[in-house]
Chains A and B, each alone.
Chain A
Amino acid sequence: MLFSSISFLYFFLPLTLFLYFFVPQKGKNLVLLFMSVLFYAWGEPVYVLLMLAQIAVSFGLTGLMERYRGQRAAGIFYILSVLFPFLALFYFKYIAFFTDILFQVHIKTPALPIGISFYTFQIASYCIDVYHQRVPRQKNLITYAAYVTLFPQLVAGPIVRYREIEKTLTDGIDFSDIHMNFEKGIVRFVTGLGKKVLIANVLGAFVSEVAALGTRTVELSWAYAIAIALQIYFDFSGYSDMAIGLGELFGFQFPENFRHPFIAKSVREFWRRWHITLGAWFRDYVYIPMGGNRVGALRWMFNILVVWLFTGLWHGAGWNFIVWGLLFAVLLVIEKGVRSICRKRIDSGHYVTDIVKHIYVAVVIIISFLIFHNDSLMDALSDIAALVNRGNRIAFDGATLQVCAYLLRNRMGILLIGLFGATPAPLWIWKRLKTSLEKHRFGDVTVHLLQAVFAVGILVLCTAYLIDGSFNPFLYFRF
């Protein structure tokens, strides 16, 4: 089920809220589990059994881990508990790709179960953390299953670790802050809904229009590339906002997943702002166990390469994703090398240096997302070549030039809104407005009224878009 669907907004959500808040504390996890399974089964009526099987197996294996702690068997159960979800992930997501490149054997695998990459990582992180005694094992199967299946973050993240929501799961919702959290959750949810429906979907329509053209002008090629980067950002960060907002409605504090990544001044900073929970997962469960940066230069480079190879592969089984991941590995190594040579100049804070750094990151992001977006490397290279007026995508005939100019004019509004919305400026403006309003007598009430108007207004507008349009894919569902 999509968050941006009528069935979710007007049936699933109110029903779940009603059940959750009207059952006693003891029954809340059961309500969450039941509704989350229903939510998942709406999109995956068969693979819901796979997810439930993974939950049961990992619950059982962590139990055995605890029982045999200190003995060799615990290690075996630990390995099995991590291996099992990853084997399922490998089968559905990677086996066709690897048998093809390694043995030139084409095998057909079933469609990728929705959200398998996300819940596999959650199960694995839980099993690893229990083994290393970073979190206590959850002895209640319903509570554990509620953690894995928790619908706000089940199919497209953020990747929530057990310890981050353990308190709410075990102690129950904290009603002392419920009004504040609920209000925050509503605003966050509709913000995400708006990012997804009003910006990402419209940008997606533009991307489809341009892709259908075949040839295009350099200006349109840049607009296309920027639109792809913005679409991916608003799609994914919109989903994360909705997930975090929904989490707050149900009393959970999910980790942030995006912090205005396009204002980064280095690739390293970009990845501290983009898909934060995935980066943190690889850092904590792959990079640091491999030695992190407390190793020799060569080993460090190897560690970086492995982590980014995995990051690329996590997004999909394809050469474009591998190249996409390795591109960031190479850039991170180069950045570190350059920084070690001229750290003072780079970190001088001079505006010219900052502008150069912004331009560098913008170009990297644009090129990297062209690689990410295309199904094949050749298509990505054609799109990149078109940015510098080269290759087979450049339009010459008058009719196409006219169409290109029109498409650019037609979508200039959403492109500008997207560029503005990807910066911290809207939040900054709202905070300034809020501070200035709160100085007045009824300013505080006005702020809340404005929030209410925003929440209802965006909800109505998104509903209007959903009713009138059919372009509503979630890009990150395919991971």
Chain B
Amino acid sequence: MKKDRWKQRITIYSFLACIVSMTMLIVIFPKEQISKAERRRLATRPQLAAESILDKSFMEDAEDYLLDHFPFREGLRRIKAQFAYHILKQKENNGIYVDGGYASRLEYPLNEASVVRMADKLVSLKYQYFPNENTWYAVIPDKNFFLAEPNGYPSMDYDRMLELLAQRLDSSGERFDYIDIAAGLEVDDYYHTDTHWRQERLLGTVAVVGEAMGINEALNLQESNFERHEIKDFYGVYYGQSALPMEPDTIVYLTNETTDAARVWNLEENLSKDGQVTMPEHAGAVWNPVYQTQKLEEPLCLDQYDVFLGGAASLQIIKSPKANTDRRLVIFRDSFTSSLAPLLLEAYSEITLIDLRYISTPLVGEYVNFEGADILFLYNTSIINNASMLK
């Protein structure tokens, strides 16, 4: 009926206006290179070619590009998160839950095969590279260790993980000494919005490690020994993934004369395009400070946690000229160690950090001298539960 037309136009025009305006915004909206909230690079414009059309990769890439560059993307992701939490009454969004102001990723069940694989990796490394050196291992609990059970979320069986790890290492006949750091940690020792622990709350943990490794005499872990520096508005990895409203954290990093004097050599930064590596002892090697605040100025900086040793790297060597000993330490590690290692610099003149997610085991021997060094395996539970990522 004619008289009803204007009313029907309310829906029609609203819908069409919504679609057309969004289409126009998609076209004219400035395109970002990275999503800081999700910590990833966004898809680039797909290249149109006969081959990419026939194998459908152009269409798939185009869909990804449109999804990544949609206007008001973060706002829309927040709407989705709120709908999932409040209307669908989900306990998590994208596998992240928030409880007591802390965001954590669900990680379950325990992958026993992965724990065995991890133990076997440790044993094979010891056989291959440091059969006679003192070797310790410690496990960093993820936030679920503190948050999951009391709040009704599923988690790994942490006791079983440690038991399995110990059994497997003991049965190898090699000596691995376990350092229990979990007992001294609590959820407040972690960032609210991020997976990592907070350096300014690690002094007790370092003391436990130092006690076990016999280096405490060389360490001064009094808070007064350090100067605190703050980086405000740190939105951690879980903030972006959960898309839920959370207050930002503050990164605090601790410096003293020893950390100021120390320098970090990084394999990736000393690798030329033709594959040549400038080793630390060679002229022309690139050295960086322990706390790399310049990283925060980079436009493509995805993670402010990179301030600690410059972020992810396959192999790093830290030289500490003001150390109280000439001992050397090799740590097989993940990203948690980036904030812990600087606190050990008073006790070691050289700390080598090896991240087996980025460098394969056979290559390690080409760059690292294990002889006479202390060896520490320091991994968080999530890595142990997904040990296949270690090369």
Residues of chain A touching chain B, judged by Cβ–Cβ distance below 8 Å, are 1, 5-7, 9-11, 13-14, 17, 42-43, 45-46, 179-180, 182-183, 186-187, 190, 198, 202, 399-400, 402-403, 406, 409-414, 417, 444-445, 448-449, 451-453, 455-456, 459-461, 463-469
Contact = CB atoms under 8 A, between A and B. Distances in A.
Interface string B1-21: 000110111111011101110
A187 B14 CA distance: 12
30 contacts: A1-B59, A6-B70, A7-B66, A14-B19, A46-B54, A186-B15, A187-B11, A399-B110, A403-B108, A406-B91, A409-B91, A410-B90, A410-B92, A412-B89, A413-B87, A413-B90, A414-B90, A444-B4, A448-B10, A451-B11, A452-B11, A455-B15, A456-B15, A463-B70, A464-B76, A464-B83, A465-B83, A468-B76, A468-B94, A469-B94
Nearest to A177: B1
Nearest to B87: A413
Given A412-B89, A417-B88, A460 B79 contact: yes
Instruction: Sort chain B's interface into a size bin.
Output: 35 or more
Contact of A455 (B14, B23, B62, B88): B14
B67 A466 contact: yes
Contacts of A399: 108-110, 154, 157
Contacts of B90: 410-411, 413-414
B8 A467 contact: no
A461 B89 contact: no
Contacts of A42: 59
A-B pairs, 9 with minimum CB distance: A413-B89, A464-B76, A464-B80, A452-B14, A6-B66, A413-B88, A403-B154, A448-B7, A183-B8
Looking at A46, A403, A452, which has the most chain B CB atoms within 10 Å of its CB? A452
B245 to A, nearest CB: 15
Looking at A14, A190, A402, which has the most chain B CB atoms within 10 Å of its CB? A402
A180 B10 CA distance: 11
A414 B92 CA distance: 13
A349 B323 CA distance: 89
Contacts of A410: 90-92
A464 B19 contact: no
Contact of B109 (A403, A444, A461): A403
Contacts of A183: 8, 11-12
A9 B23 CA distance: 9
B76 A406 contact: no
Contacts of A413: 87-90
B286 interface: no
Given A183-B12, A186-B12, 20 more contacts: A6-B26, A10-B23, A14-B19, A42-B59, A45-B59, A46-B54, A179-B4, A179-B5, A180-B8, A182-B8, A183-B11, A186-B15, A202-B88, A399-B108, A410-B92, A456-B18, A459-B19, A461-B80, A461-B83, A463-B76
B12 to A, nearest CB: 5
A466 B22 CA distance: 14
Contacts of A11: 23, 66
Looking at B11, B16, B83, B89, which has the most chain A CB atoms within 10 Å of its CB? B11
Contacts of B62: 7
Contacts of A202: 84, 88
Interface string B85-111: 001111110100000000000001110
Contact of B19 (A10, A45, A449, A469): A10
B284 interface: no
Contacts of B116: none
Contacts of A412: 89
B152 interface: yes
Nearest to A414: B88
B63 interface: yes
B367 interface: no
Contacts of A182: 8, 12
B10 A449 contact: yes
Interface string B218-229: 000000000000
B14 A468 contact: no
A215 B248 CA distance: 39
A459 B23 CA distance: 13
A133 to B, nearest CB: 38
Interface in B155-210: 157
A236 to B, nearest CB: 21
Contacts of B4: 179-180, 444
A227 B38 CA distance: 30
A466 B66 CA distance: 11
B271 interface: no
Given A182-B12, A413-B87, A413-B90, A13 B19 contact: yes
A457 B182 CA distance: 47
Nearest to B58: A45
Contacts of A403: 108-109, 154
Given A406-B152, A410-B91, A464 B77 contact: yes
A186 B66 contact: no
B327 interface: no
B181 to A, nearest CB: 24
B317 to A, nearest CB: 39
Looking at B14, B15, B67, which has the most chain A CB atoms within 10 Å of its CB? B15
B153 interface: yes
Contacts of B73: 467
A243 to B, nearest CB: 17
B20 A14 contact: yes
B76 to A, nearest CB: 4
A17 B76 CA distance: 26
B56 interface: yes
Contacts of A467: 67, 70, 73, 76-77, 80
Nearest to A449: B10
B7 A445 contact: yes
A403 to B, nearest CB: 4
Given A45-B54, A414-B88, A445-B7, A5 B15 contact: no
A461 B79 contact: yes
B118 interface: no
Contacts of A452: 10-11, 14-15
